[in-house]
Structure 1
Amino acid sequence: MMSPFPLISFLITLMLAAAACTHGEHILVKDTEGIPLRTTEQYLILPLNPKSNGGGLLPVPVKLLPLCPLGISQSSVRALPGIQVSFSYPYALMDTYVSEKEDINIEFKSHAWPGCEEFSKYWEVDESSSALEEPAILTGGKKREGNSWFRIERQEDFVGGVAYKLTTLTGTIGTVPGPWENAPQLVLTNDTSKTFLVKFHRVHGDTTAATSTSRLEKLGLRMFPSN
């Protein structure tokens, strides 16, 4: 009788080859240094042109009452890079690279948080009965719920990098004037004129992350209404 080991070895080789071919078809998302995004790293999602539409992204209420769950807006302070995020896949995968047009979760990663701790820091599309025609992007998502799945798609190349947009199965992430100082608020839209073009800046070690959090605390999330 033929030993099963050559057959097992052949099947493993075939599976690895298939996986390599599949991975090769995927286009990896790259950060501002041209390095592929990894699920083991943290990043700042920055507007393509911060001079024209504000700084990085922060958790901010979308309305006065109730304050929770928090929405996501750009800082009205252009120099503020916002809070870093991490990317992950809804289901366990061995791949640690983030590919274009693959479903991913986005999660804020910071100890500085403006309340609403009972909600998760995963992003989601507001699917409540009170959601507007262009529903807000909120925190409080669940990793394996479809409204917490986003995609990163290449929009255009520019000198020094690539512009990306965030999408879902039902639309594109864009911005509208928000309730606090009219800072751009993230929503799901089908209006291409509102598309939020972004780039991804890797947070290098603890120093950059600590600096970002410290600046956030010092400014006291000035997008919130004063007490």
Structure 2
Amino acid sequence: MTWKSVDRTGRRLRRAATLLDHRRMNWRHVAAPRAWQAFSELRLQLRDSNLPFQFFVQHVQTPNEEVIQIRASQTHTGVFNRKNHAPWHDPPYVDTAIWESGGELVLSQSATGHVYFVATPRRSERSTPDKQELILLGPLDPTDVTASVLKKAVKRYMLLLRSTSNFGGADALAPWEWLTFQWTYTWELRERQRLIRSALRLENEWLKAMISAGLPMLLTFLLGLYFGTKSS
């Protein structure tokens, strides 16, 4: 007895393995060198721009799950936590500086060979974003990591830095940039997937209400067509 499903599975797995090898090869020879050069050039430009933090570029070469990132340094926010002591102590209080951290743009190679642009917001004890990281772009084939895609990812990263840093916020955003940030934050990849899952499971109350209202109308319409056709 022969099993056609076995032959089909073998062909498709061999094809998938070949595609995976190609993606990993394209990462090594195309995407990784291009991203490293782009992030290095970006770091130099940021260094000359007198920003309130420094930037560093790093390449973590874990086999087939590599990461290339540019990250901002920790920065003192200018505020302190003050703990008061008894009046006879000298000094009668101790100040602990509040530091701001975060702010990475990461190009991450996944186990499947696809790549993602992931960014983290700035955060401190005074500002803790709801999301620890955002998927800006992806999944992408490594050959899709072109100069224009890198510019798009960097543009969104710069917007995230300005939006979440203690040195930025609303004062560092034009009105249209604030709208762009809200759109990016709301429609981030995992958020889109969550909303889709919510809709499919009818967890969204608005969707439930729309379906509850729409089904009777649709049924009335179909019955009208049915009886109208019979009477004619």
Q: Do both proteins adopt the same fold according to a TM-score greater than 0.5, normalized to the shorter chain? A: no
TM tier, shorter chain? 0.3 to 0.5
| Structure of larger gyration radius | 2
Structure number with higher strand proportion: 1
Query: Relative contact order (C-alpha < 8 Å, sep 6+): which is higher?
Result: 1
| TM-score, normalised via structure 2 length | 0.33
| TM-score, normalised via structure 1 length | 0.34
